[in-house]
Every structure is written in structure tokens, then in C-alpha cells.
Amino acid sequence: MTEKGQATIPKELREKYDLEPGDEVLWMDTDEGIVVKKRTRTSGRGMLVPDDLPEDKREDVAEELQERVRDRRDRNYQEA
């Protein structure tokens, strides 16, 4: 990882999962650690929530992401 927090996906994995420059990936925090997944847009619902999650999990992830965005916005507002 670079000082800016950027990570390089190894060439073998980019080829295996058909990742090309400009593709987007999801970084998901799980109990087992960080999972990186190529983002696919099949349903158009929620840019950051993977489409293949069960509906109840999608709602949980969406709520968590909304809470994180609100917390970050509130912290940035307080620091300004």
C-alpha cells in the first residue's frame, strides 16, 4: 500500500477477474477481513452495495454505509 492508501491488484488477479483500468471494485469489511470484489451493475440499486447480496443483507449494508457517510460529514463539519 502506498502512503496515499492506494493498493495494487496483482496482474494475475486482474487477468483472472477481468479487471481493467477504470473498473470499480468494492472494499467490503467482513469478519474474516477485507474482501475486494469487482463491482457489477445489474440492478442499478445503490452504487456501493453489491447486487448479489441477499435483500436483508443489502439493507444492512446500505444502512451502515449511510451511517458512515453521516458520521464522516458530521466530523468534517465540526472540524471546519
Give the separation between CA 68 and CA 13, rounded to whole angstroms: 29
C-alpha separations of 48 from 5, 10, 58, 77 in Å: 19, 23, 10, 23
pLDDT (0 to 100) of residue 48 = 60
pTM value is: 0.45
Residue 3 has pLDDT above 80, yes or no: yes
pLDDT (0 to 100) of residue 70 = 83
- SS3 (DSSP) at 55: helix
pLDDT (0 to 100) of residue 12 = 95
Residue 24: which region, alpha, beta or left (left: phi > 0; alpha: psi -120 to 50)?
Answer: beta
**What would the pLDDT profile of 17-69 be if each residue is shown by its tens digit?**
889 888 888 888 888 899 888 877 544 445 566 667 777 777 787 788 888 88
pLDDT (0 to 100) of residue 26 = 87
